[in-house]
Structure 1
Amino acid sequence: MRDPRELSGAWSAFQHHGSAPPSPALAGVVSHYWWVTWDLRDQPPYRQLLPPTPSVHLTFPSDGEPLLRGVHRRHFHRVLSGAGGVLGVAFVPGTFRRFLDAPASSLTDRTVPAATIFGPDLPITGMAAVDAFLAARAPADPAGDEVADWVRRASATPDLRRVDDLAVLCGVGVRRLQRLFADHVGVSPKWLLRRFRLQEVTDTLAAAPGAPVDWAGLAADLGYVDQAHLSRDFAAMFGEPPTTYAARY
Structure 2
Amino acid sequence: MNPAVNEWPKGVLHLAGSEQKFSLMRYAPSAETEYFVQHYWIVRWDLRGREPYHQTVIAHPNVNVVFEKNCTRIYGVGKSTTVRVVQDHGWVIGIKFKPGGFYPFLGDPVSRLTDSSVPLEEVFGMESRGRERFILSAPDDQSMVSRVEAFLVERLPEKDPNVSLVHEMVLSFRDDRSVVRVEDAVRLTGMNKRAMQRLFDRYVGVSPKSVIKRYRLHEAAMRIDQGEVADWLDLSTELGYYDHSHFIRDFKSIVGMSPEEYRKKVEKVAAPGQ
Structure-1 residue corresponding to 2:141: none
Structure-1 residue corresponding to 2:185: 166
Structure-2 residue corresponding to 1:238: 255
Structure-1 residue corresponding to 2:153: 135
Could you list the per-position Cα deviations for residues 119-156 of structure 1 after superposition, in whole angstroms to 9, with x for gaps in the alignment? 22653212212112212322211122212221122222
Structure-1 residue corresponding to 2:140: none
What letter is aligned with 1:130?
V
**Does structure 1 retain, via aligned residues, the 8 Å contact 2:58–2:218?**
no
Which of 203, 213, 221 is matched with 1:194 structurally?
213
Structure-2 residue corresponding to 1:145: 164
Which of 138, 156, 181 is matched with 2:200 structurally?
181
Q: 1:161 to 1:85 in 2, by over 3 A?
A: same
1:202 Cα deviation after fit: 2.6
Listed as ranges, the matches of 1:1-249 within 5 Å are 9-61=16-68, 63-120=69-126, 123-124=131-132, 125=135, 126-139=144-157, 140-205=159-224, 209-221=226-238, 222-226=240-244, 228-246=245-263, 247=266, 248=269
Q: Please identify runs of 4+ aligned residues in structure 1 that moved more than 6 A.
A: none
* Corresponding residue SS for 2:59: coil
Could you list the per-position Cα deviations for residues 47-96 of structure 1 after superposition, in whole angstroms to 9, with x for gaps in the alignment? 221222111111112x3231110010100112221111211111101111
Query: Gaps (5+ residues) in structure 1?
Result: 1-5
Corresponding pairs, count: 240
Cα distance in structure 1, aligned partners of 2:173 and 2:227? 29
1:178 Cα deviation after fit: 0.7
Higher mean alpha-carbon deviation, 26-35 vs 43-52, is at 43-52
TM-score when normalising by structure 2: 0.80
**Does structure 2 retain, via aligned residues, the 8 Å contact 1:66–1:115?**
no
Q: 1:212 to 1:141 in 2, by over 3 A?
A: closer
- Quote the RMSD (CA, aligned, Å): 2.1
Query: Gaps (5+ residues) in structure 2?
Result: 1-12, 136-143
Identity of aligned residues (%): 34
**Does structure 2 retain, via aligned residues, the 8 Å contact 1:52–1:238?**
no
**Does structure 2 retain, via aligned residues, the 8 Å contact 1:181–1:189?**
yes
1:229 Cα deviation after fit: 4.2
Cα distance in structure 2, aligned partners of 1:22 and 1:235? 34
Structure-2 residue corresponding to 1:3: none
